[in-house]
């Protein structure tokens, strides 16, 4: 048990009592952390409710994102520095800002999470990746990718990458995103995926493809439906966050 989260090591299982389902997740090849926090549970209730107004939805999503980020960045490289207080000298731990930190926004739904990340870690680089999902095949298709090659950076082995996406459904877009960074020299074990709600199918796909990656999520739901939506989920996170009602 971790403070503020439940950690699942390889081969362990968790019953999803908070989502009132009988589903279980098997973390067979990777590290999965599920937030265990009353504030998070309360905000999850709010964002799941279809009656929730857009501005309340945004506030609640931002609060969950904040909790996810605080949990995820526990693996940031640290150092000790001496500072002068008004009454003496103190040895303090702080983030080692010589090591790279990337927050990766998967457009468009993760823009809100990115806004929270900028406030928590203003020294971090913010990257944007754009993919859309084919509604028939459920496969991701690129429309925006301008990432440079990181292999020549002196700190490449220490760079921490945090991929932001509120909904982990099939896992296709996130796997494509992880691949971009691994192919450019980032260590797989230094990549963390942050999601508000996750489906067992997406978790399994990520750990099968990238067994050293890490996932931090606020909830794991029952399953995906035949359209690739998380059940019970919360609907389309991007549409609800940005108060967008597509024509039917």
CA distance 123 to 157: 18
Per the annotation, the verdict on 149 as an active-site residue is no
- Find out whether the peptide bond into 232 is cis, omega within 30 degrees of 0: yes
* DSSP sequence for 122-133: TTSEEEEEEEEE
Region of 119 (left: φ > 0; alpha: ψ -120 to 50; beta: rest) is: alpha
Q: Which entry of 18, 36, 62, 236 is annotated as an active-site residue?
A: 236
CA distance 161 to 183: 13
Q: Which entry of 13, 42, 97, 137 is annotated as an active-site residue?
A: 137
Question: 111-120 vs 54-72: helix axis angle to the nearest 10?
Answer: 50
Mention every residue, 6+ apart, whose C-beta is less than 8 A from residue 189: 212, 213, 214
Per the annotation, the verdict on 133 as an active-site residue is yes
Per the annotation, the verdict on 137 as an active-site residue is yes
Per the annotation, the verdict on 183 as an active-site residue is no
Kindly state the DSSP code that residue 137 receives in the 8-state scheme. Answer: T
- Residue 105 β-bridge partners: 128, 164
Q: Which entry of 36, 133, 153, 158 is annotated as an active-site residue?
A: 133
Catalytic residues: 133, 137, 236, 239
């Amino acid at each position: 048990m971790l403070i503020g989260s439940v950690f699942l090591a390889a081969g362990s299982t968790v019953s999803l009592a908070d989502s009132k389902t009988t589903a279980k997740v098997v973390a067979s090849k990777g590290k999965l952390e599920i937030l265990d926090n009353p504030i998070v549970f309360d905000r999850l209730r709010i964002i799941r409710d279809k009656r929730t107004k857009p501005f309340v939805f945004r506030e609640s999503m931002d609060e969950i994102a904040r909790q996810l980020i605080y949990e995820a960045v526990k693996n940031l490289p640290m150092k000790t520095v001496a500072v002068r207080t008004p009454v003496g000298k103190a040895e303090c731990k702080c983030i080692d800002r010589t090591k790279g930190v990337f927050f990766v926004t998967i457009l468009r739904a993760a823009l809100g999470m990115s806004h929270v990340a900028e406030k928590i870690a203003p020294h971090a680089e913010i990257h944007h990746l754009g993919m859309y999902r084919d509604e028939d095949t459920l496969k991701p298709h690129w429309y925006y990718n301008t990432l440079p090659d990181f292999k020549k950076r002196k700190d490449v082995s220490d760079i921490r990458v945090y991929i932001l996406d509120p909904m982990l459904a099939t896992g296709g877009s996130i796997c494509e995103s992880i691949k971009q960074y691994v192919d450019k020299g980032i260590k797989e074990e230094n990549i963390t995926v942050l999601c508000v709600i996750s489906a067992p199918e997406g978790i399994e796909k990520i750990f099968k493809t990238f067994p050293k990656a890490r996932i931090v999520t606020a909830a794991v739901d029952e399953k995906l439906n035949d359209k690739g939506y998380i059940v019970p989920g919360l609907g389309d996170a991007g549409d609800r966050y940005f108060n967008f009602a597509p024509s039917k």
